Structure 1
Amino acid sequence: MTGSTENSMHGKAQAVVQADNVSGGIHVGASEAYNLPVPRQLPARPWLLAGREAETAVLSEAIMAAGRMDTLPVAAIDGPGGIGKTAFALDWAYRHLEEFPDGQLFADLGGVGGREPPAAPVEVLRGFLTAMGVPASSIPPDVGAASAMFRTRLTGKRVLVVLDNAVDANQVTPILPAAAPAALVVTSRNQLVDLRFGRIHRVRLGALDRAGSVALLAGRINRNAVDADPDAFANLVDHCGGLPLALSIVAARASRHPDFPLSALTDELGDASEDLGGFDAGAESMRLHSVFSWSTSQLAPELARAFRLLGFAPVAQIGRHAASSLLGIPLRRATSLLGELEVRNLLEQPAPHRYQMHELIRRHAKELAEEQDSVKEREAAARRLVDSYVGAAYKADRLLYPYRAQIGPAQSVEHVSVAPLADGASALAWFTAEYKHVLAVQHLAEQCGWWWQVWWTSRLLDTYQHHQALLEDNVDTSRRGVRAAERLNDPLAISLAERQLGRALTHTLQFPDAERHLDRALRAARDQDDLVGQAHTRHDLARLYSLAGRHAASLRHSRAALRLYRVNGDAHGEARARNRMARQFAELGDYETARRETERVLTLHENNGDLAGCAGALDNLGHISQLAGRLDQAVRHFSRALAICAANTDRHFEAIVAEHLGEAYVATGDFCTARTAFDRAQDLYEAQFRDAEARRVSARLRVIQNEPAE
């Protein structure tokens, strides 16, 4: 990334003479100020910049567009500490030297780095005016008068002003030129939202992508070491999270012992994966903890506490209701604090009302929380966070599956805010956004011994996991639910958890284990004289035996479940039991009885508005029609079921129905359409890591691939 722009914004450039290199503030060469009419104050150009092509283009267009309109070009570059703002600004400035032949002015405003106090605008103006040839005795001491003199001296001059590490807009405003052809580039860790001067072009620097990270680190590390251990090099890149300073620190550490294998450094960083101890190259500016502290040490107490607890939370991204609960403060105040942290680039908002920290900043916040917040306070914050997620998951699950037994979650602690959810669509969107975080808070609850929350989280994840075919996750969280129920020694919780685990194991085709857990659930329900629990468990056993090919046993359990559902007046359960029973009639050859029962079931589900039930009944009708040789009917039924699954985002059942539809088309001789259905089924199975099913469909595709199209 070298060279300069050929087309000048201001016409043909004059010859450039580089004066003494400058860094760290305002400097003048050895000659008297009035002998330096053309200042060249830029510090040395960064020797390597990678991965900033898009941002460079944005900055160039912003400056040039303003220049074409004869308005003052002002670009504000912001981002968190260590993101490379100064290097980016200087690299851009050197690329455009020819466009500013009347000079380049540079000042470090001292907004970071422990400088006390930051540079006063009047002192910066004094340095700039001196560099432009104004005798020191002629510079007024008043900031307003000095600012007016500065603007006057810049009139008509093509000068680039670079202000580095600004604290806020108040520090920058007096140093603004009046108009083009001068231009101003300012960097800050804070968003300069209160900088009011014409059109301010904001350029935010975020983490480098992987390609940029690889290029930056590879350019600074011994090439032989990289080639000798590419896996270790990749791990180093991963540890740095796209933060240029972290990459530079790792490169500096590697350069101390260029003959050492990179795995030695990855081991050190791996040992310190929960803190920032490994990111230390000696100098204060090359110690990540220190660089981050320059941003966080001056935070007001309430804001600092919010920053620490947000880093302590075990979630990569957090919504405002969960954040309000974590902090134990009202939603409006929490939202305000989140906004302040975002302005300071300690948080970012990738989506409305959702916030996240860079992973390395989050480690810093967590370190501070462990140092400054008591165990009791951290535990109370964690409990509020868990209860916020459990409360929202309870709402979401009720909206996705209203037929679940009405058992309310355990009483929440105080100061918990729960995300509002209005319908099934918002519930699905919430689960999709928060799924990984719900898993994380379940693990947190397990570590803390909050067994009710562990059990409830397991129960509330079940419907979403099943619909999205997250089958291995479903087994894992269900096992956690069983362990939690046993710790609680609660018979009802044990019965529900065992049945859920048995159902999850059935879906992953682990039939012996599934049968064992369902038998335990049935015994527990009998011991409590729980007829509803017995009905549900009998229905799950019927499903298990049907999939295992034990149709007589499945029919027996289906009939038992139907009787129990009738006794309890559960119309929804009765419809599902009848559907399972009809399936077994078909498997045992009684197609007419199976058809009548399933059509009755479909009517019941349609009247209840149960889309999932309708899909199951239609799939049953397709299967019965195919067994009876009514192939066109089978295709119609399977196609309707598939459409419902897609609309209802039931990915697990959608894959099954797509496979069934493929088989129906094979039976009709339409091999071309059959391949399309099988392809869909295979894609869904593979996406859900259902390897056995994917292999089965792949085998079917190989069998029919040479069959002629209809």
Structure 2
Amino acid sequence: MNSSARRVWCPPTSQGQWGFVSSGARAHAADLAAGDKTETVRRGLDWLLAETITASRLTEPYREPLALPLAYPPPHHLGIATVDQALDFLAVRGPHLGAALDAAEKHHPAVVPTLVFAAWPWYRRTRHYSEWLHHHTRAIDILSNPSTDVERRLYRELHGSRAVALRETGHIYDAIADCNLALAMARGTDDRPGTAQHFYDLGATYRLAGAHGYLTRAQRLWISLDRRRGAALAHMELALTDADLGEDSAALLDRLSIAERDLAATGDYLNSAKALAWRGRALACDGRLVEARPTLADALDAFRAQDSRIWEACVLSWLADIDAACGRTGDAIALLRHSAALYEHHSPQDHARVTEALRALHSR
């Protein structure tokens, strides 16, 4: 079997049914279908879960591992060995995750939370907030009474992941509730890395009101654990919080440079790109447009490499601001149109904001 044939699921047919990629896999599936359909579905789900776990570990090697049970480990080589292959897999399979979750909920509900947890890199990059929230809420409801250490950790992580989507969609109080539950569970098991993560999430959610306290505690705890990536994340968020409060631009730029360096050094290229993008934005806000543009262009390339459409759209809108300020109205309009097209299926609020900016430019 070639590498593409080794991938278990192909997208649904026009009738909404799932199939296998290769003729050999289809023949194997037909043999299995002669037996228990529930077992056949579980086998396919476990193969998909195994691939998603592999893709997750390759794209985010710094993420705390969690042993997810597989009733049927794949008998074949998965064919996902590089970060690029992992990102390709997530880009192709992610949009059809809902169909797999439907099958899991019908036949094997316990698979839903594990598959949602494993697919975190896809949610994080695409920012399809409606699916992100729906899938995580389904998973949390199914796992409402965790009884093992793995289930309790999974339940906690899902609340922490859902909090990010709640925060980004403006549901601040619901996000705080999820963060507090996750934090209490982490502290209850003396999970110090988890505690630091949820302190960080609380700080990022509050941002101004109480943010420093939570973020500083997260940073100190991560430093004590020698977790360079976590400390860099908190460092970046603290820098942005101080910028909101009017911090000197030179100090902000230095802190963002440090965060970018440390995040890249730990393999978190998505967040290092965010630090770079914020640095470009800070330069632009400081009136240093000549320096800001190439910085943002580098960040744009980094986000495209990570298949992060929502951040690609954001940086395109920031580049448009620079072009508009320099009198390049036509270029600014082209960038905003591209940004609006990306936002349309990801963030209605940002799509509305960019569309309004387009109207303003056209009226000049």
Q: TM-score, normalised by structure 2?
A: 0.85
What whole-Å deviation, never above 9, does each CA across 1:392-415 have from its counterpart, x for those lacking one? 111111122222111132143367
Larger fraction in strand: 1
C-alpha contact (below 8 Å) 1:391/1:418 kept by paired residues? no
Deviation at 1:651, TM superposition (A): 0.5
Aligned to 2:21: 319
> What is the number of equivalent residue pairs in this alignment?
347
- More relative contact order, 1 or 2 (CA 8 Å, 6+ apart): 2
* CA 323–519 in structure 1, closer or farther in 2 if over 3 Å, else same: farther
Pick from 520, 523, 531 the counterpart of residue 181 of structure 2: 520
One-letter amino acid of the structure 2 residue matched with residue 568 of structure 1: L
AA partner of residue 685 (structure 1): Y
Structure 1: which amino acid aligns with 2:152?
Answer: P
- 1:504-536 per-position Cα deviation (integer Å, ceiling 9, x unaligned): 222333323222212221222122222211222
AA in 2 matched with 1:510: H
One of 421, 424, 434 as aligned partner of 2:80: 421
In the TM superposition, what is the alpha-carbon distance from 1:379 to its structure 2 partner?
1.8
In 2: Cα distance, 1:555 partner to 1:593 partner: 17
| 1:12 match | none
Measure the CA separation in 1 of the matches of 2:204 and 2:93: 30
1:547-566 equivalent positions in 2, closer than 5 A:
551-566=208-223
Matched, 1:568 2:270: no
Which amino acid in 2 is paired with 1:434?
Answer: R
Q: Determine the C-alpha separation between the residues in 1 that align with 2:77 and 2:171.
A: 37
- Distance in 2 (CA, whole Å) between partners of 1:325 and 1:512 is 49
Inter-partner Cα distance in structure 1 for 2:273 and 2:133: 24
RMSD: 2.8
User: CA contact under 8 A between 1:495 and 1:533: conserved in structure 2?
Assistant: no
Residue identity over aligned pairs, in percent, reads 22
Q: Contact 1:455–1:485 at 8 Å: present in 2 too?
A: yes
Name 1:482's counterpart in structure 2. 140
Match of 1:673 among 331, 339, 342: 331
Gap change, CA 1:328 and 1:584, over 3 Å in 2: farther
Quickly say closer, same or farther: Cα 1:327–1:560, change in 2 above 3 A.
farther
Runs of 4+ in 1 over 4 A off after TM superposition: 320-329, 414-418
Q: Distance in 2 between matches of 1:383 and 1:663?
A: 50
Q: Report Cα offsets for 1:117-167 as digits up to 9, x if no partner.
A: xxxxxxxxxxxxxxxxxxxxxxxxxxxxxxxxxxxxxxxxxxxxxxxxxxx
Shift of the alpha carbon at 1:564?
A: 1.8
Distance 1:606 1:495, change over 3 A: closer
Look up the SS of the partner of 1:642 in the other structure. Answer: helix
- How far apart are 1:706 and its partner, in Å? 3.4
CA contact (8 A) 1:478 1:504 kept: no
Q: Paired residue for 2:277?
A: 619
CA distance in 2, matches of 1:442, 1:503: 21
C-alpha distance in 2, partners of 1:706/1:665?
16
Tell me: CA distance 1:553–1:680, structure 2 relative to 1, closer, same or farther (3 Å): farther
User: Distance between the aligned counterparts of 2:103 and 2:156, measured in 1?
Assistant: 24
Give distance in 1, aligned partners of 2:109 and 2:25. 18
Residue by residue over 1:51-80, the C-alpha shift from the partner in whole angstroms, topping out at 9 and shown as x without a partner, is xxxxxxxxxxxxxxxxxxxxxxxxxxxxxx
Structure 1 residues 628 and 432: alpha-carbon distance in aligned structure 2, compared to 1, 3 A threshold: closer
Deviations 1:61-114 (A, max 9, x none): xxxxxxxxxxxxxxxxxxxxxxxxxxxxxxxxxxxxxxxxxxxxxxxxxxxxxx
CA distance in 2, matches of 1:508, 1:448: 32
How far does the alpha carbon of each residue in 1:431-486 deviate from its partner, in whole angstroms, 9 at most, with x for none? 333335543232222223441x2111111222113212322111111112212332
Judged with a 3 Å threshold, the aligned counterparts in structure 2 of structure 1 residues 481 and 384 are, in CA distance, closer, same or farther, namely same
Runs (5+) with no aligned partner, structure 2: 1-12
CA distance in 1, matches of 2:162, 2:74: 33
| Alpha-carbon separation, structure 1, partners of 2:176 and 2:64 | 22
2:18 is aligned with what amino acid?
A
Please list every run of 5 or more consecutive structure 1 residues that lacks an aligned counterpart in the other structure.
Answer: 1-310, 330-368
Q: Which residue of 1 aligns with 2:355?
A: 698
1:578 aligned to which of 235, 240, 256: 235
The structure with more helix, counted as a fraction of residues: 2
Q: How far is the alpha carbon of 1:498 from its aligned partner?
A: 0.5
- The answer on 1:388 being equivalent to 2:47 is yes
Matches for 1:354-365 after TM superposition, within 5 Å? none
Say which of 137, 156, 165 aligns to 1:495: 156
TM-score (norm 1): 0.46
Say whether residues 1:509 and 2:159 are aligned partners. no
- What per-residue deviation string (whole Å, max 9, x for no partner) do you get for residues 18-67 of structure 1? xxxxxxxxxxxxxxxxxxxxxxxxxxxxxxxxxxxxxxxxxxxxxxxxxx
**Deviation, structure 1 residue 700:** 1.5
Matched, 1:443 2:108: no
Map 1:275-290 to 2 at 5 A.
Answer: none
Letter in 1 for 2:39: A
Alpha-carbon distance in 2 for matches of 1:583, 1:602: 13
Matches within 5 A, 1:518-667: 518-546=179-207, 551-590=208-247, 591-667=249-325
* Residue number in structure 1 paired with 2:64: 405
